[in-house]
Amino acid sequence: MASEQVATSPSDRLLPAAAEQPEQQQRPHDNVAYEDVTDSNFVYEFGGPVGAASMIVGFPLLMAYQFLCVYDNKGQFLLPSSLADFLPWVARMSARYWEIAYPSWTGIKIYLGFTFFTVALAYVCPGPVLYGYKVPSLNGQRLAYHCNALWAWWITVATALALHFSGLFRLTQIIDNLGPIMTVAMIWSFLLAGAVYAATALWGKKHRASGNFIYDFFMGVCLNPRIGTLDLKMVTELRVPWPVLFFISLSCALKQYEEIGYVTPESAFMVLAHWLYSNACNKGEECVMTSWDIFYELESWYLLFWNLAGVPFSYCYSSIYLLKNGPMNFSLGWNVMCYVLLLTGYYFWDTGNSQRNRFRMFWNNTLIKRNAFPQLPKSFIPNAKYLQTSHGNKLLIDGWYAYARKPHYTADLVMSLSWGLITGFGSFFPYFYLTFFTIVLVHRVGRDDARCARKYGADWDEYMRVVPWKFVPYVF
């Protein structure tokens, strides 16, 4: 099929909508392996072994430090009084962290109880079974994905509310034990990353390995870790981090209600923001199986640590700050502005991700209609225009992707900005997510551009000519 559609000049490869093509080309069928063909061109990323080791040590320390600042010091920096005070300061910080965040039995029960409940639901809940891209390392096999996250998500929410209002498990225990839960999450991510690495090495199935243990542990060596029908990457990317983040914010709001008798508009904002994000990830689970993280990235320490610990316990600073410093009493106009910014960003983020992933699903012959709430206008582009590459893949140049190559990232950043603005300007930490996310996305776009330039060659140059803007049309 690809050979039929490759034209003699770059401009000829800008194909019209599918409905305008010959009948034999309208059928959604892309018999293309989507794993990067440049795997043999190995290059160190993230600063190589030194950068990997620095992040393996540095990220847990950063999370511990920020937790103390936000949870224990109302969002203000904790600093030594002088250079001579540095080592005593480290000792004081370490002692205080251990005092309020050691991995208690309560923390273990809450975090691992939620994790194993989530895994159990992944095995038993109903949902469609869809097939991902062909995987060259598996001789072209298409892996099956049991997409039942939506059922699991709503069962989890209903169960949590039932436990809270029955008094069997008050959700306020989450914020009361947040330090121990976070420490357990960090330890669990290290153990799971080690288990995945060891099992992959034992079975002789290392993928894209460099030969340097520290770097390979950081970047991963296993592409498709599975336990029976359970896809580990899908579960750890969608079903743990964002629901945990939502429940942390909900716990903060419920704690605020206990303390002052009502939930402020700012705290309600954070519950809404994290519910929208978590709900979107679960309602659109079938879209994720065609994403970069699933079809290309290896299950690694950095993915496991950040998904299982970093996302829920670093992106919650706004909710904690509002609890520790509220009520904020911002003006109605300020709060309305933040809500409008959040919902606008969410609309373009949800529909942008849907457009690109459902375009891929259409050509992968796995597109299905689902009615999960909310279904937004322009989530799917019928007869979408695309650029056909000589490699065989199709590059979307329609919908929001006619204006920028990464509009979903722009919308994501707008949402993250609103998460900070709703807290005002009294602390840096509610803006940590925006700051960190900006760095990650800029780096990720650079990696993606370099990979695609190697993969598509002249077709990528043509694509950047047709869609020259990365994030914002006519700006950047």
For residues 348 and 401, the answer to whether their CB atoms sit within 8 Å is no
Residue 3 pLDDT greater than 80, yes or no: no
Lowest-confidence region among 71-75, 201-205, 291-295, 460-464: 291-295
Q: Name the residue with higher pLDDT: 60 or 391.
A: 60
pTM for the complete prediction? 0.91
Least confident segment among 27-31, 354-358, 441-445, 451-455: 27-31
Residue 77 pLDDT greater than 70, yes or no: yes
d(CA 285, CA 364): 16
Most confident among 100-104, 219-223, 292-296, 371-375 (mean pLDDT)? 100-104
Residue 35: band (very low, low, confident or very high) from pLDDT cuts 50, 70, 90: very low
pLDDT at residue 161 greater than cutoff 80: yes
Give dist(CA 164, CA 158) in Å, integer.
10
* Mean pLDDT of the residues in the chain: 89
DSSP assignment string, 19-74:
GGS-HHHHS-----B-S-TTTTS----TTHHHHHHHHHHHHHHHHHHHHHHHHHST
How do residues 298-315 score in pLDDT, each as one tens digit? Answer: 999 999 999 999 999 999
Using CA atoms, how far apart are residues 330 and 351, in angstroms rounded to an integer? 31
Q: What is the mean pLDDT of residues 451-476?
A: 91
- Band of residue 138 on the pLDDT scale cut at 50, 70, 90: confident
Segment 235-263 shows an average pLDDT of: 97
Residue 83's Cβ-side half-sphere holds a number of Cα atoms within 13 Å equal to 0
Highest mean pLDDT (candidates 183-187, 208-212, 442-446):
183-187
Section 144-159 average pLDDT: 95
* 331: three-class secondary structure by DSSP: coil
Q: For residue 268, which of 342, 347, 177 has the smallest C-alpha distance?
A: 342
Per-residue confidence (pLDDT) for residue 282, from 0 to 100: 93
Confidence check: pLDDT of 91 > 90: yes
Top pLDDT among 273 and 362 is at 273
pLDDT single digits (tens) 342-365: 999 999 999 999 999 999 889 888
What is the rounded distance in angstroms from the CA atom of residue 212 to the CA atom of residue 214?
6
